[in-house]
Amino acid sequence: MDRIIRATAGEGYIKMAVIQAKEMVQRGCEIHACSPTASAALGRTLCAASLMGNMMKEENGTLTIRINGGGPAGSVVAVSDSQGYVRGYIENPAVDLPLRSDGKLNVGGAVGNDGMLTVSRDIGLREPYIGSTELVSGEIAEDLTAYLLESEQVPSACALGVLVDTDLSIRAAGGFIVQLMPGADEELITKLEDNIFMMDQLTTILDEDGPEELFRQVMKDLEYHLVGEEPVGYRCYCSRERVEEAIACIDRQEIEEMIAEDKNISVSCQFCDAEYTFTPADLRALLENKAENE
């Protein structure tokens, strides 16, 4: 089961959240028919959005991460609700590059590093809060760490990973975010840095030992306390009603031109590929309803 587990240490000065997201990432990559490299790029972004969305205090808030580094992958987008349920897409899901010299998927090469990572938080106000930072590597975890420090002034460490099996299924996926609260002792910071530097490979831990082992390795020699665990997954909120509302916002003349063509129109959801078909009669009914409400 996909889940987020949270813990604190160092008398509350350290907060850590771990996500196990194999099924979530598998679902997203199946929907978009991703190559191995695209699976890693989309999967890491989904995990990041889920972790950050789950940190939101607003019950009906949403968080969007958008990454575009000028690479062949194009834009990578993930949207999370405040529980950590996510949906997302990658502009070019077929992108695939040769492995890096260390044998790992070349996510940085696919995403590129000439661009921005943007985080948008919608908490029900008139305008969402938007923060951006320049990409560091395109590997996503390093970019998110830079964003948290530069845009939100929170010293953090982030690791994200997706292990793609030989049959292209997702064997393991997940990651963690560790954050230091104001006033954290320098000794705590040094200990955390040393532990993260010495830890085993992220996807190996998730595949062989499970997410709890991440706490044991990152918090080694630190007394930590688990404070919560919640299920997460891939969830799209699209519906025919929402698509109707979007069509109703189109200029009346454009809708009338669609009706005049006397053909069905189909609208696909970019997050889950669900397709909604509208006949000329459906469009005419939408126009009549729009006129009644004006």
Terminal Cα distance for the chain, rounded: 47
* pLDDT for the residue numbered 50: 98
3-state secondary structure of 51: helix
* pLDDT for the residue numbered 294: 64
Give, as one character, the DSSP assignment of residue 201.
P
CA distances from 285 to 24, 79, 278 (A): 38, 32, 10
Q: pTM for this one?
A: 0.92
* pLDDT for the residue numbered 207: 96
Give the helix ranges, DSSP H, for 66-218: 107-111, 141-150, 186-198, 202-208, 212-218
* pLDDT for the residue numbered 20: 98
Shortest CA distance to 192 belongs to which of 159, 162, 163? 159
pLDDT of the chain, 294 residues: tens digit per residue:
899 999 999 888 999 999 999 999 999 999 999 999 999 999 999 999 999 999 998 888 999 999 999 999 999 999 999 999 999 999 999 999 999 999 899 999 999 999 999 999 998 777 888 999 999 999 999 999 999 999 888 889 999 999 999 999 999 999 999 999 888 888 888 899 999 999 999 999 999 999 999 999 999 999 999 999 999 999 999 999 999 888 888 888 888 888 888 889 999 999 998 999 999 899 888 888 877 766
Q: Cα(13)–Cα(183) distance, rounded to whole angstroms?
A: 7
* pLDDT for the residue numbered 32: 96
Q: Cα(77)–Cα(93) distance, rounded to whole angstroms?
A: 12
CA distances from 245 to 168, 231, 286, 294 (A): 37, 31, 9, 14
